[in-house]
Amino acid sequence: MGEPPRGWTAHSLDIRLLPEVVARALTEDLGQGDLTSLTLIEPAALGRAQIIAKAPGILCGLPLGQEVFAQVDAQRSVAWSPLCQDGESVAPGQVLVEITGPIRAILMGERVALNFMQQLSGVATATATLVKACAGARARILDTRKTVPGLRALQRYAVRVGGGVNHRFGLFDAILIKENHIAAAGGVGPALERARLAGPMVRVEIEVETLAQLDEALAAGADLILLDNMDLETLGQAVARTAGRAKLEASGGVTLETVAAIAQTGVDFISAGSLTHSSTALDLSLRLL
């Protein structure tokens, strides 16, 4: 896969990840072969299919679909022709992709391609919904590490497609001092002091649960603070106390019903684990014509 496939966007992830993750998914689904298609469909039978949206949402995952059909057909004779791009709004009944080639290959790749596209489109749609709800506020929507194991890079891509921003990718690329770290280190101040030993290029964030802890973090020079499970009144007080001395992230209890009010408190970021751990898959269907 030398060049980015059609349907990719400016939010793209490293396309070198795709062959491996798709190969694992196909091995899981196909095993020794698709018994139904191998039994019922003649090897030389050719056909045409369409992937169709059955619900409104934000499309994401087209390159995964393309990679699926490239791998299920050893001759690479399946033609994948997207009619839109990742990040586009789609409507029920809209044709998203035209696929032509061996019917066996089309049917063998159908479920895996749809699984990827439905899951990622669900994440992108949920993200876009929260982003829209915060329109007019400065708060940016963040994801978390609460991702499906093995799919983090793909889900993070979907968050970007939906208009969100990625938090740290894993435990290795930033420091996030949480309540257990604070307890083990002996308090907010000592935890921040030790964290700075990682070096000036390492981003450090600390989680606080009370305004008193916020004051400690500010006194210790924290520049990124996570406000954990604070109510709206307390969030507003935290923003006022901070007065721009640090960036603030609100986390906990973030839903479509609450996100706008949280954004109006003046925080800089709002993180929502639900984007990647419980977004509803977008309903898509493949129809053989």
Give catalytic residue positions.
111, 146, 178, 207, 228
- Return the bridge partners of 23, or none: none
Report the 10 Å Cβ neighbour count for 215: 15
For residues 48 and 100, what is the distance between their CA atoms, to the nearest angstrom?
4
User: Whole-angstrom Cα distance, residue 115 to residue 119?
Assistant: 6
Cα atoms found within 13 Å of the Cα of residue 80, Cβ hemisphere only: 24
- Minimal CA–CA distance to 68: which of 34, 112, 103, 32? 112
Sheet of 175-177, strand order? 140-142, 269-271, 247-251, 224-228, 204-208, 175-177
Six-digit token string for 43? 């090897």
CA angle 123–128–130, rounded 5-degree value: 100
User: Is 67 within 8 Å of 108 (Cβ atoms)?
Assistant: no
